[in-house]
Structure 1
Amino acid sequence: MHALIVRGGWAGHRPVEATELFRPFLENAGYSVRVSDSPGPYADPDEMARTDLIVQCVSMGEIDDDQIAGLRAAVAAGTGFTGWHGGIVDSYRASTEYLQLVGGQFVTHPGKEPGECGGGPEDNFLPHTVEVTPLGRTHPVTAGLDDFALESEQYWVLHDDLIDVLATTTHPVRPWQPWHRPVTSPAVWTRLWGAGRIVVTTPGHSLDVLEHPSVRTIIERGMVWATPTR
């Protein structure tokens, strides 16, 4: 099995350190692992043809027409595609073709009450719960996991109904926010695209969140589930 790690973009999500957390898992599971610091390999048909799994960690960043076309073609042909947090749902903001492939886009992470904010990243760290859905109770990626609590960025995601939601998180009504009823966003989902499988995990802002037992289990299981048996 051949895995390609594509990493880069905004440095605040620690793309090198974050992906290196999972490299030993892939290698111990029998994958040969290649690493790219750009989406350039997506435009190489030969590279894509020998890739069973893509693990992407590119927050923001840019992708050109040949690269997104190559990525979409590879996934449609059966290559698995997975990632976490901004590395997959806040990538390539200018590409609607990428957004359609993934099925969801980060739009915000609500913050604390303004009087409690000090101007640092922790202003957006809120206690919240990730709740496993009925589908998630039986799906191989999340089966056997209970709901779990985090204190980190809680992603608000715009999405379509082609995704299969395995876990959600709910943004409550707060006096300083403009919405008037709780808003539930998908936190973990899968998506079938042609012959390919996609797995998205929205928790993962920092290394400690990625090392949370439930988050790490979901990501690692997602890698295996997305990999085709061919």
Structure 2
Amino acid sequence: MTIERRALVVRGGWAGHEPVKATELFIPYLRERGFAVQVADSPAPYADAGLMARTDLVVQCVTMATIAPEEVAGLVAAVAAGTGLAGWHGGIADSYRASADYLQLVGGQFAAHAARCGPAERTGDQSDNYVRHRITLTPAAAGHPVTAGLADFDLDTEQYWVLTDDLNDVLATTTTAVRPWAPWQRPVTAPAVWTRQWGRGRVFVATPGHTVEVLEEPTVRTIVERGLLWASR
């Protein structure tokens, strides 16, 4: 008898990242690969130890927002015990800013996305932060299931500058250029795709994914789909 794997999709937070539309891109993919999918609109299920023990993969798409101590403790414990955690962009790398335990689990935190033009030229629209940039695969990417066979690629969207640590296995990076109006004086390279082992669990993060259109870009979508499968128990 085939036993289904179980995925928990947690979505919400800032509406600009279209958490429902974005996750709906990948729910059919998971079901086609044998996952029973449960959807939640808050991190409340993380506090349910029984549910989390039965969950093989958490797909999180919650930008900013808050998380209760018992919820983050449940998520951390579940991942350490073998539940996978995966996500993209602000849905995983800009979640629960006030929780140090969550930030340590994920291994990277959004810090900024540099504007494409000087202050006097900005309109206040999200597109002020859309810049043409390259996602550069690392040497480790060639042999990793998430990125094998892929090549460097360019995007015109938000470019995440993230704060991170060296427990991550970095599969791709992106370099934020110097801007004449900005306070940094040299290019800054940050991870764009990484994996992380936490106890018996796996964590996958891709920073591209600001809009559904970015997630539909073929290489981004391939990386996310592979990352979901890689992270799963």
The interval holding the TM-score normalised by the smaller chain is over 0.9
Match of 2:228 among 219, 223, 228: 223
Match of 2:177 among 172, 177, 185: 172
Q: Are 2:45 and 1:41 aligned?
A: yes
CA–CA separation in structure 1 for the residues paired with 2:121 and 2:30:
41
Aligned to 2:140: 135
TM superposition shift of 1:175 = 1.1
**Deviations for 1:122-149, whole angstroms, at most 9, x for unmatched residues?**
0000000000000012111011110000
C-alpha RMSD over aligned residues: 0.7
Aligned to 1:83: 87
TM superposition shift of 1:116 = 3.4
Match of 1:189 among 186, 194, 219: 194
Equivalences for residues 47-126 of structure 1 within 5 A = 47-114=51-118, 115-126=120-131
Match of 2:158 among 139, 149, 153: 153
Identity percentage over the alignment?
64
Aligned to 2:21: 17
Match of 2:33 among 29, 32, 35: 29
CA–CA separation in structure 2 for the residues paired with 1:200 and 1:105:
11
Q: Give the TM-score normalised by structure 2.
A: 0.97
TM superposition shift of 1:206 = 0.3
Runs of 4+ in 1 over 2 A off after TM superposition: none
**Deviations for 1:69-114, whole angstroms, at most 9, x for unmatched residues?**
0000000000000000000010001100000000100011000222
CA–CA separation in structure 2 for the residues paired with 1:68 and 1:192:
17
Give the match's secondary structure for 1:190: strand
Residue ranges of structure 2 left out of the alignment (5+ in a row): none
CA–CA separation in structure 2 for the residues paired with 1:101 and 1:13:
22
**Deviations for 1:181-214, whole angstroms, at most 9, x for unmatched residues?**
1100100000000000000000000000000001
